[in-house]
Structure 1
Amino acid sequence: LPTHYYFGFSAATGELSDNHDIISVHTYQLDSSEQRQKEDRTNIIPSAPLAKMGETDDNNSKPSKWSALKIFFLVFLLIIICLGGIGAFFYMKQHRYHSSRLY
């Protein structure tokens, strides 16, 4: 654990983040014995004996390559292509109908 106090606040929630107002922050300090208060803490090496080495969170290991904006434009492009195909089909059908008349 750090020997000095550092406070950081973040609103990052994946690929998008919003501005958040921090209304209040509550901090507490535990009381310790006189002996612990007199220790020289400048040479302490932070450690966590119960932490497991090498474990990673699989959910956060791979960022998504497909953002919401990419998916939106892909769906929009597919809809435009489908509408273009349907329009071409009806145009060809109408063109054949009018070209077969002899008058």
Structure 2
Amino acid sequence: MPADKPTQPDAHDERTSRPPYALSDEKKKNGFTAKYTGKCYCGNVTFEIDSDPVDATYCHCRSCQHLHGAPYQWAAILPKDALHIKTGYDDLHFYSAQHKK
């Protein structure tokens, strides 16, 4: 009978303890005041942002083209601790265009 493999922490569970899923220690101490709020199309995922983006870009990579069904997508760039996902983060998972899952 093969020996049991040691269990490793689930990367999904571990990441929820860091921004943007949990507030950073600094944001907990100094407070998080939402400047912008938003949600996904179905409303299950809600988020808030406490500052303006530091930059924005257009991405033309094949993964973004595939995911968005468009020749490019626009993305706002901001520090992870400027974003706080309030609800629905348990439904979020990483998507690999290469593996299509």
TM range (shorter): under 0.3
Looking at secondary structure, tell me which structure has more strand per residue: 2
The structure whose Rg is larger is: 1
Looking at secondary structure, tell me which structure has more helix per residue: 1
- Give the TM-score, by structure 1 length: 0.20
- Give the TM-score, by structure 2 length: 0.20
